[in-house]
Amino acid sequence: MVTGHPAGDDPGDRLRWPGVVVVGAGVTGLLVTEELTRRGVPVLLVEQSRLGAGQTGHCHGYLHRGYIYRGITASRRQALERCADWWARRLAPAGDAVVGTRSVIGFTSDTEREEALAAWKSLDMPWEDVDAPGLAGTAGTFAVPEASVSPRAAMRAVAGTAARVPTLHGRATAVRHSGGSVRSVDVLTGEGTVTVSAPAFVLSAGLGTPGLLGPLARTLGVRTRLTYMLVCRTGQDLPEAFCLPADSAQGLFVASRPAGRERVYLMSTFVNFWASDEDEAARRSWLGAASRVLAHHLPGLWADPATRWGLYPACKVEVDAPDQAGGGLPEGGVFDLGWDNALTVLPGKLVLAPLFAEECLNRLGRLTDLDRLREASPPGGSPAASSPPGPFTTGSGPSSGPSPAPGGSVASPWAAEDWEMTPLFTRAELFDHPTPHHVPAAPHGKDNDRWSA
């Protein structure tokens, strides 16, 4: 039984919700919300920022099919393939969501290349030997059918209903339980704490999960991993997405976004730290490793004085568990913590989110009578509920739009991706002065808020 936040006197105001409370509006929370709403179950979203912020907003948006993983097993390959196909079907009508339909993978040695090709062939994974302009230092480059997407555009396409459901804007700080049931969740809003009670809960708080679960997070091995994302804006001719080298612990993993006549490339190495907060040493160490990889594998880009560079921390919540066959495939997943009305969903790779959402809904259906919750919703949509203090938005159906922002403008409920809020500099400005306090503020008028889930 969870002991971190036992039942007691609830602080602040109270809100009783007749359906499911979904904590966190990242990709998995949004997919769960979409399906519950489709089934007629009343959903209340709890989100301290905007839809798709946090870990969802700073990801590459890469839809893996198993090519970069060593020793990929048939079962994992099938899971990735199933999820990637799900995304392809759902995003087909949304032309702006799909950035590229294939990726380029390179290897540094003939041995690693042949081992990878043998694995691909054994699992009937298609590939094509190609020349890739701008890429150097490889033993061959191969095009594979792995797509990359814009997470924000993808979320709006597959989970747009979430923008119309009632949303309590605040940070979930504590789970209160009584016996084997979750009784309520405390939400800290701008006007105080609101205690939200409901028949069922889905805790998909993303980066906020360790704090929300308290001591239980350490028991499960839930930790925060710190890495960084380079933002590179250039007119150089490079593949839309690529991984170089696929067999190196300090390789480079890249996806892009269109930017007029140029492209923005989001670049990560495989260097990371078990830390929730960045510091000068971590940033300097990461940039040092990245600079060596860039100079070796992308020499033209590295030497181009017109290219502009930026950097943002990209923390990820994962389960610190021994790696299994398949190499480097952190899957997150759905955790049953012994409660009879609540589940915890940890973030995983974007491509796997439909699998997690499906598993969450299946388990939630076994724990809770979803038909009964659907009947609790009055005709016409959102169930009656007293609006608590603090920011509270109630959707009013398909025609309802975003709430007006101060000054009369319309505020989008969707978060910008982190790269869009990252100021860019010359290579010397970023790599020679990597500490956060040396980075000047963004130009006047640039939206540089950092939303975190």
**Contact assessment for residue 25 and residue 47, using Cβ atoms and an 8 Å cutoff:** yes
Q: Fill in the DSSP letter of residue 58.
A: T
207-211 average pLDDT score: 91
Task: Give how many domains the chain has, as a whole number.
Answer: 2
User: pLDDT tens, 342-369?
Assistant: 999 988 889 999 999 999 999 999 999 8
* For range 170-181, the mean pLDDT: 92
131 in a domain, yes or no?
Answer: yes
Amino acid at 294: L
Instruction: Give the per-residue pLDDT at 434.
Output: 60
Contact predicate 195/230, CB 8 Å: no
In this predicted structure, the answer to whether residue 394 has a pLDDT above a threshold of 90 is: no
Average pLDDT score over residue span 187-195? 94
Q: How deeply is 178 buried, as exposed, middle or buried, from its count of CB atoms within 10 A (0-12, 13-18, 19+)?
A: exposed
Distance CA 206, CA 334 (A): 12
Contact 97, 150 (CB under 8 A): yes
Lowest mean pLDDT among 35-49, 180-194, 401-415, 423-437: 401-415
Q: Tell me whether the omega of the peptide bond preceding residue 245 falls within 30 degrees of 0, making it cis.
A: yes
In this structure, the answer to whether residues 94 and 238 fall within a common structural domain is no
Q: Is the pLDDT of residue 179 over 60?
A: yes
**Does 122 lie in the same domain as 49?**
no
Predicted confidence band at 131 (pLDDT cuts at 50, 70, 90)?
very high
pLDDT for the residue 116: 92
Residue 295 banded pLDDT, cuts 50, 70, 90: very high
Torsion of CA 257, 263, 264, 269, to 10 degrees: 90
359 plus 376 within the same structural domain: yes
**Do residues 91 and 182 both lie within one domain?**
yes
Domain, as residue range, for 376: 1-99+145-224+318-417
Of 4-8, 82-86, 398-402, which range is least confident?
398-402
Are 364 and 376 part of one and the same domain? yes
DSSP state of 54: T
Distance CA 149, CA 103 (A): 12
pLDDT at 144 over 50: yes
User: Quick one: 126 and 220 in the same domain?
Assistant: no
**pLDDT for residue 174 is more than 80:** yes
Is residue 444 a part of any domain in this protein?
Answer: no
For residue range 235-275, what is the model confidence (pLDDT) as tens digits? 999 999 999 987 776 789 999 999 988 999 999 998 888 87
Nearest to 233 by CA among 139, 330, 304, 325: 304
Task: Give the pairing of strands 252-259 and 43-47.
Answer: unpaired
Q: Within this chain, do residues 258 and 213 fall inside the same structural domain, yes or no?
A: no
Average pLDDT, the chain: 83
Q: Are 39 and 248 in contact (CB under 8 A)?
A: no
In a domain, 446, yes or no: no
Distance CA 125, CA 438 (A): 46
Quick check: is 449 in a domain? no
Q: Is residue 189 part of a domain?
A: yes
Note whether residue 95 is domain-resident. yes
Same domain (yes/no): 329, 232: no
Shared-domain flag, residues 90 and 173: yes
Quick check: is 453 in a domain?
Answer: no
Residue 452 lies in a domain: no
Tell me, yes or no, whether 203 and 270 share the same domain: no
Is the pLDDT at 403 greater than 60? The verdict is: no
Query: Can you give the pLDDT at residue 398?
Result: 34
What per-residue confidence (pLDDT) applies to 437? 39
Do 51 and 4 lie in one domain? The reply is yes
Question: How high is the pLDDT of residue 346?
Answer: 87
Over residues 25-44, the pLDDT tens digits come to 999 999 999 999 999 999 99
pLDDT tens digit string along 430-444?
998 766 534 333 333
The more confident residue out of 215 and 121 is 121
Could you tell me the CATH number of the domain that includes residue 135?
A: 3.30.9
Tens digit of each residue's pLDDT (9 = 90 or more) over 416-433: 999 999 999 999 999 987
- Let me know whether 72 and 108 are in one domain: no
